[in-house]
Amino acid sequence: MPQTDRFRSQPTTIQPLLDPQPQRLASLDAYRGFVMLAMVSHGFGLPYIARQPGYSSDPFWQRLAYQFDHVPWIGCSFWDLIQPSFMFMVGVAMAFSVAARAQRGQSWRRMALHAAWRSIALVFLGVFLRSVGREQTNFMFVDVVSQIGLGYFFLFLLAGQRPIEQFLWAIGILGLYWLAFYLYPLSEEINDAALGIEPGWKHLTGMAAHWDKNTNLAADVDRWFMNLFPRQEPFAFDAGGYATLNFVPSLATMIFGLLAGELLRSGLGHGKKLLWLVLPGAVGIAAGLALNHFGICPLVKRIWTPSWTLFAAGCTLWMLAGFYLVIEVVRLRSWAFPLVVVGMNSIAIYCLDKLIRGWILGTIRLHLGKEIFSGKDIIAWLNSHIPNLKLPYLRPEFVPLVESIVAIVALWLICYWMYRRKIFLKI
């Protein structure tokens, strides 16, 4: 029996993915590359600059720094949208990947085994990368790669299902997750210090208290689950309030991406595709804001509340629509090449950032001088050799900004070298 026939005989509804032909979207690669470059920029050191004397009271620097750092709890900044964008695109890519494998005649069982292997590999890759440079055991599963891995196989099981079924699964996951948090009993007494809650923390009240920092269902689950793994000290809290159970609602984020991927693969015209990206995006944003405004569910990225999931999905749909409009519809593509280079090797640049970013910067200092990123040696040489030139020295607080730019350039060049040689890291 031919491979295609074996695939068709599987008891699944993945068959619709066989038509139309799968293709690769430059806009998706560009969007992914944009997100990855933002991620490895480490915020360009802007939050650090904004905390320094002379900048801490400057409204411009405070607004700029706000967008390049995670909000403390409720709310959203540009930086908060990086992880949901990454996870959303996993769903988009899933639609194209499964379709391509089906076209090659792979059976459902073979694809399922690959999805299971990829899930396990991603989970442990996240654990490994989060442990780099640490002296103690650090079994944690809140890294974006681990979170993707925890939900990836379940996402695969939904690939090829009817859009309405995928949508209902996503909404059902969010509804049950909201209900589980709401029904979970509140702590009668809260010891802020024991739970890693900062002095002066403004605790949520009323219904929203069920989603307060480190006093919620997910935090209590981690206090049990994390201590099943070997560690030097018992796990009591995550300093940022992140939780392993985030993978459950973030699975809904990936399902929304899967729906978007199926849309982009369809035979609809550009106008209808854009419409089906923009309008649901607006609904998602409005729904998330409304749930937060009326106190039903606060908008918290750190524990991926259902309201956050809807709001972030709306934002990612709008960003994808923007890239799709410019690159696929208007066909302005040349500007996006640097982004595509990174987007086609997203796992590679993520690992490189975690593993060798410090080595790259340290090696540059070793060979070019400890003050290379402040520019003191270069500026002093220029001022002494060029008459009447009096260039000012770079202020110390801007050194992290320069380091980020240098690291991005170095990592991009590695990705470009891999791109030229058709080396693409995949799991």
Place of tokens 């005989």: 9
Is the pLDDT confidence value at 35 over 70? yes
Mean pLDDT of the chain: 89
Q: Which alpha helices (DSSP H) does 104-238 contain, by range?
A: 108-131, 144-158, 163-183, 217-225
Cβ-Cβ contacts under 8 Å for 378 (sequence gap 6 or more) = 372
The model's pLDDT over 412-425, given as tens digits with 9 standing for 90+, comes to 999 999 999 999 98
Q: Identify the band that residue 384 occupies on the pLDDT scale cut at 50, 70 and 90.
A: confident
Is the pLDDT confidence value at 277 over 60? yes
Q: How far is CA 67 from the centre of its chain?
A: 15
Region 76-81: mean pLDDT is 96
pLDDT at 87: 95
With the C-alpha atoms ordered 73, 212, 286, 150, is the resulting torsion angle positive or negative?
A: positive
Considering only CA atoms, which of 163, 152, 90 is closest in space to residue 320? 90
| Position 392, amino acid | P
7 vs 163, residue with greater confidence: 163
Is the pLDDT confidence value at 75 over 60? yes
The model's pLDDT over 103-116, given as tens digits with 9 standing for 90+, comes to 888 999 999 999 99
pLDDT at 137: 62
* Most confident range, picked from 9-13, 59-63, 192-196: 59-63
pLDDT at 20: 42
Place of tokens 């360009």: 44
Cβ-Cβ contacts under 8 Å for 368 (sequence gap 6 or more) = none
pLDDT at 389: 74
Q: Identify the band that residue 370 occupies on the pLDDT scale cut at 50, 70 and 90.
A: confident
Token pair belonging to 254 = 């990936």
* Most confident range, picked from 12-16, 48-52, 61-65, 176-180: 176-180
Q: List 74's β-bridge partners, or say none.
A: 300
CA-derived radius of gyration, the chain? 23
Q: Can you tell me the distance from the alpha carbon of 407 to that of 42, in angstroms, rounded to the nearest whole number?
A: 10
DSSP code string of 185-213? PPPSS--TGGGTPPTT-----GGGGGG-T
Q: Can you tell me the distance from the alpha carbon of 219 to that of 214, in angstroms, rounded to the nearest whole number?
A: 5
> Residue 8: is it exposed, middle or buried by C-beta count within 10 angstroms (0-12/13-18/19+)?
middle
Region 209-235: mean pLDDT is 92
Between the two ends of the chain, the Cα-to-Cα distance in Å is 29
Is the pLDDT confidence value at 14 over 70? no
Is the pLDDT confidence value at 13 over 50? no
pLDDT at 3: 39
Q: Identify the band that residue 369 occupies on the pLDDT scale cut at 50, 70 and 90.
A: confident
Cβ-Cβ contacts under 8 Å for 216 (sequence gap 6 or more) = 181, 184, 210, 243, 303
The model's pLDDT over 115-145, given as tens digits with 9 standing for 90+, comes to 999 999 999 999 888 887 666 667 889 999 9
Backbone phi and psi for residue 74, each to the nearest 5 degrees, phi listed first: -80, 135
| Element holding 359 (H helix, E strand) | helix 346-368
Cβ-Cβ contacts under 8 Å for 188 (sequence gap 6 or more) = none
- Cis peptide preceding 20, ω within 30 of 0: yes
